[in-house]
A and B are shown apart, each in its own frame.
Chain A
Amino acid sequence: MRNFQICSRCVMDTTDSAIVFDANGVCDHCVTFDTKVKPKWHTGERGVQELRALVDAIKVSGKGKDFDCIIGMSGGIDSSYLTYIATEYGLRPLVFHVDAGWNTQVAVNNIEKLVDKLGLDLYTEVIDWQEMRDLQLSYFKSGVPHIDTPQDHAFFATMYKFAEQHNIKYILTGANLSTECIRNPIEWMYYQSDSIQLRDIHAKFGTRPLANYPVTSILRHKIWLPYIKGIKVVRPLNMVEYDKAAAGKLLTDLFEWQPYPQKHFESRFTRFYEGFWLPKKFGFDTRKVQYSSLIVTGQMTREDALEKLKLPVLDDATIRQEFEYVANKLEISTTELQSYLDAPNKTYRDYKSQETIYMLGAKAMKALGLEIGGKR
């Protein structure tokens, strides 16, 4: 058992069991950022040039079509700001939203405000709730940490499917280095696109077939779609100056956009998952990852992060209510939900996976300079 140690620069610590510290107590996340991520990350003048080139390519590919790209929109700050940027640069995006049954009112309201005020078209893919529910329960029963996979997996699967069907070559996502250069360790959040793992967990604990639920696979969206079908997933927020606080204020001023208390809280499930389940059951606090990204990008001080981390994400009263809400919605008793909380902790290694493909693929991508900022 390791002694507790926290990075001297960011706030990642030994709850990430794979963490490594150098002689100065600086963690490998920070080192990776300095040596591998930052050098390849261009905002400023060069970033704007890259973005303009991208925008031109998107416009050309979309000529004569109703829209030239699709934007995955959750109502969260990243995808909302991205939508604003896209329209500022003259793109004609279709706003694509996936409803997995856990939308909060704030998220729905934010999407509505943006779509109305920017005059954009919206497409919503509604995931079959009964299947979603069964799949989410399967993940609870499996004991693994990454129980938000059903939502995430569906999000990407449906977006790619839609792009393919409508012959759209560009998918814009709000993924960004500014707030995500330090990623959740795989131990905390295993790859959501791993369909082998998804199917195995479902096979072991599911009670109904996945007939409508959209399943994708790592090979499909890292190889087939980009290289064979020519559908690219791009991250424009990496090419502009993206300061979270400033972005939030701008969105509020221009669109009456409402902020969330924490990242990813546009889904009520994710709020429960990151705010309670993950810290309580596994001791994983995703705020450490998010704050660390903000620290290394100069948007937050380490002192401020440490202060915030002293308090729990959700207070007891809220936890009790959310616990009951989640149990009710999943149509189980709170006792049953508690039993999953108390059950032994498992990891992604306890189930089948495509992990080796990811490791090989990530190595290859990095070697070819194709991807920066991967998970580990």
Chain B
Amino acid sequence: MLRPRIMPCLLVHNGGLYKTVGFGQPKYVGDPLNAVRIFNEKEVDELMVIDIDASRIGQEPDYKLIANLALECRMPLCYGGGVKTVEQFDRIIGLGVEKVAVSSAAVDSPELVSNAASRVGNQSVVVVIDVKKTGFFKKYEVVTLNATQRTGLEPSVWAAKLQQLGAGEIVLNSVDRDGEMKGYDFDLIDSVRNAISTPLTVLGGAGSVEDIRGLVNRYGIIGAAAGSLFVFKGKYRAVLINYPSREEKAGIY
């Protein structure tokens, strides 16, 4: 029986691991390599590592870091940040990464998605959709470049288009819920879930293992990603890498 995927999502900024709230207020979490190593030993289902600077400042991905992280992962790794060309997809996968994620690049040139899928296979092409409630009516809108750019795109429409183009997985990220640890945004997830049949992973808002259980109860097979939950503990948001044990996971699904 296929299981829902429960995965930590780590953000890299200036070579270090950071965690944000609403995509702002970055808090230093430490060395990426050590965090990934600990997650590997905790046998996490898979891992996402996103470089939050690269696209915004027009930088190339840090290939050395990616290679070192891949070395430590005995589970699938998805890397995102600064990817704009099919060659970069190829290169990153060649370093030992299973999936490559794009966000703003897909908005700028949707054909990147289909070209990359032809080259590396659609199972390795992930598109991240960052969503914020914008405008007077607070409607869901796709945003990019660390939530600094509005696109005018509606998330479920955009997600359906991406599936058509050949994306193998959609990661739906709620900017408003980021770092809040108050629960996932079910309204948003409902709208996108009903529009596509590719694997969907959601990120933004998970505050407890109960939130993940609730997500799985509602949607069945889904990817439950979390940043703060697996990296912080307690009221002082003390950095402590954590992840449900095998027994705890068995209780989630």
Contacts and interface: CB of A to CB of B under 8 A. Distances in A.
- Consider the complex of A and B and state whether they touch directly, i.e. have CB atoms less than 8 Å apart: yes
Interface of A: 97, 99, 101-105, 108-109, 111-112, 115, 121-124, 126, 128-130, 328-329
18 contacts: A101-B34, A103-B34, A103-B38, A103-B241, A105-B38, A112-B233, A112-B240, A121-B234, A122-B233, A122-B234, A122-B236, A122-B238, A123-B238, A124-B233, A124-B240, A126-B28, A126-B29, A130-B15
Contacts of A99: 30, 239
B74 to A, nearest CB: 13
Contact of B238 (A97, A103, A130): A97
B85 interface: no
B38 A108 contact: yes
Q: Tell me whether chain B's interface is mostly helix, strand or loop, or mixed.
A: mixed
B91 to A, nearest CB: 20
Contacts of A105: 37-38, 41-42, 241
A123 B31 CA distance: 18
Interface in B88-128: none
Contacts of B71: 328
Contacts of B238: 97, 121-124
Given A108-B242, A122-B240, A124-B239, A102 B34 contact: yes
Interface of B: 15-16, 28-31, 33-34, 37-38, 41-42, 68, 71, 233-236, 238-242
A130 to B, nearest CB: 7
Contact of A101 (B30, B42, B236): B30
Contacts of A111: 240
Contacts of A112: 233, 240, 242
Between B42, B238, B241, the greatest number of chain A beta carbons within 10 A of the residue's beta carbon is seen for: B238
A151 to B, nearest CB: 13
Given A115-B234, A121-B235, A122-B233, A108 B240 contact: yes
Q: Tell me whether chain A's interface is mostly helix, strand or loop, or mixed.
A: mixed
A328 B68 contact: yes
B236 A121 contact: yes
A45 to B, nearest CB: 37
Nearest to B15: A130
B9 to A, nearest CB: 18
Nearest to B239: A124
B31 A129 contact: yes
A98 to B, nearest CB: 10
Contacts of B239: 99, 124, 126
A104 B240 CA distance: 11
A301 B55 CA distance: 62
Given A105-B38, A108-B242, 5 more contacts: A103-B38, A115-B240, A128-B28, A129-B16, A130-B16
- 8 shortest A-B CB distances, which residue pairs? A105-B41, A129-B31, A122-B238, A124-B238, A101-B31, A124-B239, A126-B30, A105-B38
A328 B42 CA distance: 21
A156 B219 CA distance: 48
A130 B28 CA distance: 12
Contacts of A328: 33, 68, 71
Nearest to B43: A105
Nearest to A120: B234
A15 B234 CA distance: 46
Contacts of A115: 233-234, 240
A109 B241 CA distance: 8
B5 to A, nearest CB: 20
Contacts of B16: 128-130
A122 B236 CA distance: 7
A109 B240 CA distance: 9
A124 B15 CA distance: 20
Contacts of B33: 328-329
B240 to A, nearest CB: 6
Contacts of B38: 103-105, 108
Nearest to B67: A328
Contacts of B235: 121
A108 B28 contact: no
Nearest to B232: A124
A228 B246 CA distance: 50
A231 to B, nearest CB: 20
